[in-house]
Amino acid sequence: MDRRIGAAAVFLLAIFQFACDGGTEKKTSEQQPVEASGAEKSEVQPESHSDAALDALAEQYVRLVLTLGNHDKSYVDAYYGPAPWKAEAAQDGASPAELANRAERLLAQLPDSVEPAGDLNTQRQHYLKTQLKAVAAHAHHIADAGFRNFQKEARALYDTEPPVQQYADFDPVLAALNQALPGDEPLHFRVQAFREQYRIPEDKLDSVFKAAIDECKKRTQAQIQLPKNESFRLEYVQDKPWSGYNWYQGKAHSLIQINSGLPIHIDRAVDLGCHEGYPGHHTYNALLEEKLVNDQGWVEYSVYPLFSPQSLIAEGSANYGIELAFPGDEKTRFEKETLYPLAGLDPAGAEKYQQVLDLLAQLKFAENIVAREYIDGDIDRDEAIERFQKYTAMSPEKAAQRVQFVDTYGAYVINYNWGKQLVKEYVEQGAESHGERWQKFSRLLSSPRLPSSLNW
């Protein structure tokens, strides 16, 4: 997501002891599997050893996540494990409270604390313990959804403490935007009028997105050896609370959906191509399947619970992957040379457009403030829409969609901006060259690391 599933608004969280944008399909295109070239392989992880007790607990974790999905259709984002487990979970009538108890009983089988270590087995143990805490928290909330708190939800579900900022922190950025786009109308109107010049015509969407995804894949393949016969299918949908979504199918195959219900501007082609595909969600899931499910036999990675610490790594790496694949001005240059002509747009203003986009990107954390106030009950829906427009320069339509996203996914919004910052810091610390950054990034995508174990 830019990613993450669009179902009924079911979510947001209580305080618990454990405390990465049904629409009408328009068109479909297929990419045939492409075998990886002789690119540099991802860094090999330390050899693991079989642990029968942990394997048994991992199976119970998978079954628990599948069963909790009976009570929240947004919860199970992907599953490609044994089909009988899914069928049996669908027949399990356990209540959310009982499922919370099951999670707590599984947690009791693990050590009270897991000491930091770099080996895969320790990271696996930490992964299961941390993910189970989030399962228990989400189950407790479904059982009693009367209390909502943004910060506690972020801590309980995503294994992190996002920074608390104030609107005043973004005044210099808003001032710079006002200077870049002068006028008498409200800033968000000026921003949207400016961006409208760079909207991709609907009949050009498919060709532009194919070219963007092809380039994202080429750049990723030059650095990471992708699984053999990996592939994806591309669809265009509408009436969704997200911009794009990757539905991982297993066997290194994804369904990537692009929401064409709102205007799509030229910059979003590369952004979504990287985020949903290469080196983002499709790459991450395919590497986890290859390295941990197939090579290690770890069944816990065959299921992906959306509201879990793994999502911060997924969304953070997908967003950071854009600038990793297109460092410096390479994204703007590729858009000018390839995507602008395909879209029939004038590239003369591409540099200024990118300057405005860079300023808008600095307002991303302001979205967290609005979401926090809305979830905590400090402002209502109409005020949230107004504040998204005022402090992040969203159009009224985009602001309403963003509130719908918060209704559906709650504090998940932190995973895009805060998650990106955490992944960026992890990858770039001690990495002196671009190649070294790719190596650390690929190691992250192939490992059990979560926010609290990023630097193990």
**Cα–Cα nearest to 385, from 374, 257, 375:** 374
* pLDDT, tens digit (0-9, with 9 covering 90-100), for 142-190: 998 777 899 999 999 999 999 999 999 999 999 999 999 999 999 999 9
Give the mean pLDDT of 407-429: 97
pLDDT, residue 147, reads: 76
* pLDDT, tens digit (0-9, with 9 covering 90-100), for 300-315: 999 999 999 999 999 9
- 19: its two tokens: 């405390």
* pLDDT, tens digit (0-9, with 9 covering 90-100), for 21-66: 433 333 333 444 333 333 333 344 445 556 999 999 999 999 999 9
**Residue 67 confidence (pLDDT) above 50:** yes
pLDDT, residue 85, reads: 98
Rounded to the nearest 5°, which phi and psi values hold at 236?
A: -115, 125
Rounded to the nearest 5°, which phi and psi values hold at 250?
A: 90, 165
**Residue 419 confidence (pLDDT) above 80:** yes
- 322: its two tokens: 């854009």
**Residue 263 confidence (pLDDT) above 80:** yes
pLDDT, residue 23, reads: 35
Cα–Cα separations (whole angstroms), residue 412 to 70, 95, 154, 401: 20, 24, 7, 15
**Residue 16 confidence (pLDDT) above 60:** no
Q: What is the percent of the chain with per-residue pLDDT over 70, rounded to a whole number?
A: 89
Give the mean pLDDT of 200-217: 98
Whole-prediction pTM? 0.89
Q: What is the percent of the chain with per-residue pLDDT over 90, rounded to a whole number?
A: 87
pLDDT, residue 1, reads: 66
**Residue 449 confidence (pLDDT) above 80:** yes
pLDDT, residue 144, reads: 87
pLDDT, residue 145, reads: 75
Helix or strand holding residue 254 (H, E)? strand 253-259
- 312: its two tokens: 């911060």
- For residues 237 and 401, is the Cβ–Cβ distance under 8 A? no
